[in-house]
Amino acid sequence: MFRLIFTALIFLIGLPVYAQRFGGNPSNVKWQQVNNPVARIIYPQGLDSVAMKIAGIVQQLNTTTQSSIGNRQGKINIVLQNQTTASNGYVALGPFRSEFYLTPTQNSFTLGSLPWPVQLSIHEFRHVQQNNNFNVGLSKVLLNVAVLMNGQLHRPGQTAERKTVLRWRQVKTRSGKAPMQHTRLMQWFDSAVQY
């Protein structure tokens, strides 16, 4: 009798059950990809032009900025997410990938002069280069220990500095030439002097 009552109570009392959530994408999203030697851009159907633009930017950054960080480059998967409310991006070490949240911030004054996907490409690909070139020599052995002890592996201003340099290179006047102060600043950034 006790077993029957206990079994009936178990079935009659509703217990909350929580399931795992994988990502935030509906199951009917059709994924596509663009491949180049530097990255595999994985994106939902309909973002073809954004994916091609990011693939081109990443390929160009790979060739033009190696002198400032190192020449060890591995291929990375970049996942474009367009169904989020966050405007951010990140590079994960395991599995080695990057995700771009393509919804721009609501405050357009914080975006600057570049489109949001271009800013994400410049900023996050610098982190990709940092991670690729950090995994060399003694740091290769200590990488897992460093990640566990301190999530910040690189000099904090390095990515922001490179992003600023690349933006200033795009500054043009009506005559098509960069202003003199930007030219001097670019020479200073490109010099090998460490302060």
pLDDT digits (tens, 9 = 90+) for 103-147: 988 887 877 788 999 999 999 999 898 888 876 666 666 666 655
Cα dist from 44 to 49, 74, 80, 83, 98, whole Å: 11, 24, 7, 10, 15
Quick one: pLDDT at residue 48? 95
Amino acid, single-letter form, for residue 55: A
| Contact criterion met (CB below 8 Å) for 21 and 12 | no
Quick one: pLDDT at residue 143? 62
Quick one: pLDDT at residue 72? 82
Question: Where does 26-190 sit in CATH, by number?
Answer: 3.40.30
Residue-range domain boundaries for the chain? 26-190
Quick one: pLDDT at residue 105? 86
Mean pLDDT computed over 142-165:
57
Quick one: pLDDT at residue 30? 92
CA 109 to chain centre: 21
Mean pLDDT computed over 72-84:
90
